[in-house]
Amino acid sequence: MKKQIIMTVILAAVVTGILLVSFSEARVVPYWSLEFSEGSSASSTGSTLLGADIINDMGVIFKPFNKHTCFILYELKYSGPGFKRLEGRDFSENSMDHMLFAQYQVALSDRYLLRTRLSSMTEFFRSGTNEDWGGGTYDFLRSGVFVEFEAKGYPTVSIEMATLLFPNYSDLLSEYQQGTGAVPDTGEGSKGDQSVTTIGTTYRYRKHKVSVKQGINNYIKQTVVQPDGTYGSTKQADNILTVKYDTLQRLGSFLFVEPEISLKTKTSNQNYMHYEVPGTTDVSKIHYVGNYYAYTQTSVGCRFDLYLTRSKSFFLKPEIIMKNYADRPALDAGNQLTNEKQNTTITVMTVGYSVKWNKVSRWTLLYSNHSQSSNVKYEKYVPYTYTGTYIGMKFAFTY
């Protein structure tokens, strides 16, 4: 992975140099953004991990005609081992994304703006550094088209249509029976493939922003699990509604406050078969759970930036994420269903010191405390309740 990072940085520098020389007198601007962070995390579970994260964007912005702008971008994103913001994830898990998109923007008038975008992204997962990329159960390829219309003084409206393909995934029942991420190939192809439609609107008033998104995931092959442990004829369909508000306010000469709150609700017609022992055929240890994937999640956070000078600042950001399932029972230590509905609360407190070296680069020292609590007591594969600390550094460059 380090070799890939080094080669990417070298390639980005070469491309930027070539573009600067070639297009110095044309209406073409190169774009390069690099964020690299590295640090160490230690948790109450006894695990200590060294991890790195990188986001590297390389692209070009050009204006073929007046009022017309094109933007082509390639992104490499790597997330290393460490604490996760999602429940039920292994600390040692790491992921890598490759994304390419082309955006065309036209100013229809002084008030109206139209954006269209084609994108393709491949995401790889692996549970440890000894595994090869490309063999993860939940690896996927996402391709889509996005259209957004913006009118000054009015909410923007957008729609995105995409497909999600999971080349290594089999089906839900096979996954339930195995009890792990190792899903056998049933010979029927992936039942995880989906068509995704997302409709959104965003309204900005001064320094306030409110956004609403409705995502509709229709599965191409996966059908709904029945109480007898077989598949029915109805295709799985998920709906995710997200409402978010954020603002940036200046208090005095040196303090900036950026609060945000979001509410996400998911509904799904998919059900679940719980195997107390993976692969068991004892019907007394197999249980059907309806409406297993529906939940409500509330996230609240607020960032405080205290500027010591124009280029140096301290910041503090407390966050809390509360996730409550509608009908999913929590598990006890023996992997048996309880009468409680599963819920998880994640709190993160981050403090840091940031120095802006110049117009294009910034260095940040980070320290954060993570805490996750859940009424799920079965932690054979992943932790659900833990506390931990992280300390690291981040370098950011944008041209």
Which whole number is the average pLDDT over 71-94? 85
| Radius of gyration of the CA atoms of the chain, in A | 23
3-class secondary structure, 367: strand
pLDDT tens digit string along 303-330? 999 999 999 999 999 999 999 999 999 9
Q: What is the DSSP letter of 177?
A: H
Query: Would the pLDDT of 18 be above 80?
Result: no
Buried b (16+ CB within 10 A) or exposed e, 286-299: beebeebbbbbbeb
Question: What's phi and psi for 177, nearest 5 deg?
Answer: -65, -35
Which whole number is the average pLDDT over 247-266? 95
pLDDT band, very low/low/confident/very high, at 2 (cuts 50, 70, 90)? very low
The pTM of this model reads 0.86
Query: Cα–Cα distance between 322 and 332 in angstroms, integer?
Result: 20
- Please say whether the beta carbons of 125 and 139 come within 8 A: yes
Would you state the structure tokens that stand for residue 349, as one six-digit string?
């407190």
> Residue 278 class from Cβ within 10 Å (0-12 exposed, 13-18 middle, 19+ buried)?
exposed
Query: Cα–Cα distance between 58 and 9 in angstroms, integer?
Result: 10
Residue among 310, 316, 378, 379 at smallest CA distance from 348: 316
Query: Cα–Cα distance between 104 and 162 in angstroms, integer?
Result: 18
Structural fold of domain 1-47+54-78+294-399 = Porin (2.40.160)
Query: Cα–Cα distance between 230 and 163 in angstroms, integer?
Result: 26
Give the contacts of 137 (CB within 8 A, at least 6 positions apart): 125, 168, 169, 181, 182, 183
Domain locations in the chain as residue ranges: 1-47+54-78+294-399, 93-288
pLDDT at 7: 47
Query: Would the pLDDT of 1 be above 50?
Result: no
Question: What's phi and psi for 175, nearest 5 deg?
Answer: -65, -45
Buried b (16+ CB within 10 A) or exposed e, 129-166: eeeeeeebbebbebebebebebeeeeebebebebebbb
Mean pLDDT estimate for the chain: 88
Q: Are strands 140-151 and 112-126 parallel, antiparallel or unpaired?
A: antiparallel
Give the contacts of 180 (CB within 8 A, at least 6 positions apart): 278, 381
